[in-house]
Amino acid sequence: MDAVSRARDWIAQDPDPVTRDELQEIVDGAVAGDEAAAAELEARFAGRLQFGTAGLRGALGAGPLRMNRVLVGQAAAGFARFLRDRAPEGRTPVVVVGYDGRRNSDVFARDSAELFQGAGLEAILLPRLLPTPVLAFAVRFLGADAGVMVTASHNPPDDNGYKVYLGGDDQGAQIVAPADAEIAKRIREVADATPLGDLPRSGEYRIADESVLDAYVEATAAVAPAPSGAEGMRWTFTAMHGVGWETMRRVLERAGYPLPSLVTEQIEPDGAFPTVSFPNPEEPGAMDLSFRTAEESDAEFVIANDPDADRVAVAVPSHGGWRRLTGNEIGLLLGRRAARAAEGAPGASLACSLVSSPGLGAVAERYGLDWHETLTGFKWISRAPGMVFGFEEALGYLVNPETVRDKDGISAAVAVLGLAAEARERGATLVDLLDEMAEEIGHYASTQVSVRVDDVSRIATVMARLRADPPTAFAGHQVARCDDLLRASEGAPGGDVLRFRLSDGSRIIFRPSGTEPKLKVYLDVRGSSAEDAASVLAQLEGAVRQLLDETS
């Protein structure tokens, strides 16, 4: 079947007039001989968004390679089949659905709830747009078999996504293999055999009551009730046009922290993200309004959530401006906090992704805890045995694993507030805590080099060249070992990762992003002093940038 015929079949089952009209215009152009329209049509129908361990994520638009009501409906129906197939005989699977403030998130969530209910499941829709951690919490709190969160987290404004969690033995964690492939198979079966309009629907799904959010607020406030040092503490907060503030405010009031000065331009949910080109606190310029607000209110520090509030960023005053703490710095501070609380507990562990700072291993050793390195993503981190704290350098932190089995930017923010307030009691700051930790475990420094591409095949080309002809040194620092993690080993799952361990103990890791068209390179060093670590890091970063210029 040619692209025009496939497109007409797609239009016939699309309930959304916006994407129907969008695709019809492209079809009309292709039929009339417009080469650009014909190429666009071929590109739209060259495949379909693949369902994997990150669920679905992509740009909004018409066709199987975009996020839209047809694709989401097929995903919901396929996931329903998967849940029915794995449910014990006589049990009706329960699935809870949440959504954030992005364009069409509410529509995709309601479609999913109707299709789940129509397929014979018990569907529960969260009462309004809420953070991703609340959905992850709700899966366990409601005893659900699964959860779906409609969000693209910190992706560009035109994106949306579909994140899946499993209850039961998975304890509300994100899906991992082989469940992802099994779900994808059932989605494909639906897409190949049944038009969307023929799938059974029901509006009899349940709306969750406020007890879910009340319980989340109570549990999250208990992470770090405000100590006396919190009195009068001045800080600034931004929700980055996301859904975090309503829930964050309730947690702050319950825990006893002073409310922050708000970045008012970014505090209400807005799927257009009008003040940022990329709603990710890590991106240059994304926190500029936060810094301006902090200056005006004489804040001691800044805290930012990403749009679905599963990540947290922190910034502190520095040399007349503002310094964003790295994801690793925040992770090590929170890891040390957790290690101190768990010191001596049999089997307790700290966990982080393999691209996050190895300093967490030094923290674990210092306090007598186990340490686990996992593949990237909280689907792996959350499954580490005995974990009391887990993190990844991309601003993701799990500080309360008995409550939420995923990264949670609200509970992590409360933990940071607790650290800041306790330091404040003795006249110290978050920067002082970093210095104190360095005295305990050594001076770790890290950075990341990211290359964003228009054609993702370029990333595969670079990775192939690095495998075919691996570097033997970076800026004069010899490579002691190269680990290719493409294949699974020792029972651990594999990943498209190259890790270079250098003779001085530094490491450099190359990995394609799992959610964006980026090649990411992670650099970590441990020095005899902060200056020494920074110097080596700068040398290695320069060498990596030169290598990428030569190979891409």
In this prediction, residues 425-452 reach a mean pLDDT of 94
Beta strands in 134-289 (DSSP E): 146-150, 159-166, 173-174, 206-207, 235-238, 261-262
Look at residue 534 in the predicted model and tell me its pLDDT.
93
Q: Considering the domain 51-209 in this protein, what is its CATH number?
A: 3.40.120.10
**Residue corresponding to tokens 């152009």:** 29
In this prediction, residues 339-364 reach a mean pLDDT of 95
Beta strands in 70-150 (DSSP E): 94-99, 122-125, 146-150
What is the spatial distance between Cα 101 and Cα 157, in angstroms, rounded to a whole number? Answer: 11
Look at residue 401 in the predicted model and tell me its pLDDT.
95
Give the homologous superfamily in CATH for domain 210-438. Alpha-D-Glucose-1,6-Bisphosphate, subunit A, domain 3 (3.40.120.10)
Statement: residue 490 has pLDDT above 90? no
Q: List the single range of 97-101, 204-208, 282-286, 384-388 with lowest mean pLDDT.
A: 282-286
Look up the CATH architecture of domain 443-551.
Answer: 2-Layer Sandwich (3.30)
What is the spatial distance between Cα 221 and Cα 541, in angstroms, rounded to a whole number? Answer: 40
**Candidate list 153, 357, 382, 411, residue with the active-site label:** 153
What is the spatial distance between Cα 15 and Cα 72, in angstroms, rounded to a whole number? Answer: 12
Q: How confident is the model at residue 323 (pLDDT cuts 50, 70, 90)?
A: very high
**Residue 344, token pair as written in the block:** 């001596």
Statement: residue 461 has pLDDT above 60? yes
Q: How confident is the model at residue 550 (pLDDT cuts 50, 70, 90)?
A: confident
pLDDT digits (tens, 9 = 90+) for 74-91: 999 999 999 999 999 989
CA angle 528, 529, 531 (to 5 degrees): 125
Look at residue 54 in the predicted model and tell me its pLDDT.
78
CB 395 within 8 A of CB 352: no
Q: What percent of the chain has pLDDT over 90?
A: 88
Look at residue 487 in the predicted model and tell me its pLDDT.
66
Statement: residue 498 has pLDDT above 60? yes
**Residue 133, token pair as written in the block:** 């951690």
Q: How confident is the model at residue 213 (pLDDT cuts 50, 70, 90)?
A: very high
| Whole-Å CA distances, 549 to 336, 407, 462, 521 | 38, 34, 10, 13
> From edge to edge, which strands make up the β-sheet containing 507-512?
443-452, 518-527, 507-512, 498-502, 477-484, 473-474
506 torsion bin: left (phi>0), alpha (psi -120 to 50), beta (else) = beta
pLDDT digits (tens, 9 = 90+) for 39-78: 999 999 999 998 887 799 999 999 999 999 999 999 999 9
Statement: residue 406 has pLDDT above 70? yes
Look at residue 453 in the predicted model and tell me its pLDDT.
85
Look at residue 53 in the predicted model and tell me its pLDDT.
72
Mean pLDDT of the residues in the chain = 94
**Residue corresponding to tokens 């674990």:** 364
In this prediction, residues 277-287 reach a mean pLDDT of 93
Q: How confident is the model at residue 494 (pLDDT cuts 50, 70, 90)?
A: low
**Residue corresponding to tokens 């306790």:** 422
In this prediction, residues 267-293 reach a mean pLDDT of 95
Statement: residue 286 has pLDDT above 80? yes
Instruction: Name residue 56's beta-bridge partners.
Output: 162
In this prediction, residues 445-450 reach a mean pLDDT of 91
In this prediction, residues 177-189 reach a mean pLDDT of 94
In this prediction, residues 418-429 reach a mean pLDDT of 97
φ, ψ dihedrals at 511, nearest 5°: -155, 130
pLDDT digits (tens, 9 = 90+) for 502-514: 998 899 999 998 7
CB 402 within 8 A of CB 381: no
Q: List the single range of 233-237, 323-327, 408-412, 525-529 with lowest mean pLDDT.
A: 525-529
Statement: residue 324 has pLDDT above 70? yes
Q: What percent of the chain has pLDDT over 70?
A: 98
Question: Identity (one letter) of the amino acid at 266?
Answer: Q
Q: How confident is the model at residue 488 (pLDDT cuts 50, 70, 90)?
A: low
Whether 382 is catalytic is: no
- Are the folds of 51-209 and 210-438 the same? yes
Look at residue 491 in the predicted model and tell me its pLDDT.
46
In this prediction, residues 306-327 reach a mean pLDDT of 96
Q: List the single range of 40-49, 362-371, 414-423, 512-521 with lowest mean pLDDT.
A: 512-521
Statement: residue 228 has pLDDT above 50? yes
In this prediction, residues 516-525 reach a mean pLDDT of 90
In this prediction, residues 247-257 reach a mean pLDDT of 98
DSSP secondary structure string for all residues of 274-333: TT-SS--TTSTTTTHHHHHHHHHTT-SEEEEE-TTSS-EEEEEEETTEEEEPPHHHHHHH
With residue 359 as reference, give the H or E element that holds it: helix 359-366
On the CB side of 416, CA atoms within 13 Å amount to 34
**Which sequence spans correspond to the domains of the chain?**
1-46, 51-209, 210-438, 443-551
CB 510 within 8 A of CB 354: no
Statement: residue 515 has pLDDT above 80? no
Look at residue 513 in the predicted model and tell me its pLDDT.
83
